Amino acid sequence: MMRCWGWIAGLLILGGLAGCGANLPNLAPPTPTAIPTATFSPSPLPKPTRTSSPTPRPPTFTPMPSLTPTPVYTFGQELTTLHGHAGGMWAAVFSPDGKMLASAAADKTVKLWTFADGLIPKATKTLTGHIEAVRSVAFSPDGQWLATGSADKTIKLWQLPEGKLKATLRGHTDEVAAVVFSRDSKMLASGSKDASLRLWDVSQFSLHKTLLGHQHWIESVVWSPDGKTLASGSLDFTVKLWDVTTETISKTLRGHKNWVLPTVFSPDSTLIASGSKDATVRLWKVSTGEQMLVLKGHGDEIRSVAFSPNGKMLASGSEDETIRLWAMPSGELITKLQPKSSAAWVAFSPDGKLLVSALGNGLIKLWYVGE
């Protein structure tokens, strides 16, 4: 009986719930809404196109800078010794452009040396024709001529750059010790053991005038850079200054105690230096003839003197086998070079970097004297 009541109660509950079904929320899960599906259509990749390969270029190389160090020279350094002459040297001079060197010697020849590269020249020509020692040599300022004076009493004119002999000038009656061109290269002056100074017309190869005044042979003749004055040094112990316009002696410089051998003008033409057998170098004022300075120190006669292009140094070469460099205008000794032979001639290069010395033993030495 109890089971029946339980069964009836269960039916009643279910029936009540069914009756109230309209008032109850719908507890069933909502029907899901379909989410639209995105469509993705990838663009097709471009097809690679085949192009022709460029013509390969040969590799290029940038050259490495030279690893050869630039030479460093010290003041007064001996650079080289030039061999070639078979007799003692008398003179060696630079060409106006500094590219050549001419040397004269007792072997009767003149040699031309060329600075092709650097500071060391090479012998390129030998000029022959004199029959005695060649005592002097000079380039014309325009670089067209070379003049040589010889113990054979003649002067020869050689055309450059070929070195062709163009004329032989005769007139001196003894050795020609010195030759020098005028500033315009039109005239040539020569000094001789016959005690005369002669002027020659270069274009005509002819004698222009003979100047007399010395009492003994003339050992040196120089033309002032300004072209106004000639100077001559003589074994009569004097230096004479000649007015080029009037062709007469303007001053006679006295003071040396023995033969006057070399003479040279300063680059500005205001001073003249002279060397002597009395072993001194003296400086004179051109305008007044006044002796300005006496340089002492050499132990034998002075064979050569030369001013540097800037006028700040004077070089003197001596039979005592030394070359001395003096500061100008103070006259203080800068240094002493040792060529180990008498310095018959000294000369500066046009740029002032080199000093050439022509030696009695037949050798030529080059020295570095640049700053």
- Global pTM reads 0.80
In the structure, what pLDDT confidence band is assigned to residue 119 with cuts at 50, 70 and 90?
Answer: confident
Residue 181 three-state SS: strand
Give tens-digit pLDDT for 131-148: 999 999 999 999 999 999
Buried/exposed 42-59: b ≥16 CB within 10 Å, e otherwise: eeeeeeeeeeeeeeeeee
Residue 270 pLDDT class (50, 70, 90 cuts):
very high
In this model, does residue 303 exceed pLDDT 50? yes
Report which residue type is found at 33.
T
Q: What does DSSP say about strands 248-254 and 164-170: parallel, antiparallel, or unpaired?
A: unpaired
Average pLDDT, the chain: 87
118 confidence band (pLDDT: 50, 70, 90): confident
From residue 273, give the alpha-carbon distance in Å to each of 9, 167, 219, 326, 329.
Answer: 159, 32, 14, 12, 11
The pLDDT assigned to 60 comes to 55
Q: What is the CA radius of gyration of the chain?
A: 49
- Domains defined along the chain, listed by start: 77-86+171-368 (2.130.10.10)
Position of tokens 């719930």?
A: 17
**Does the pLDDT value for residue 88 go beyond 90?**
yes
Q: How far apart are CA 306 and CA 254, in angstroms?
A: 20
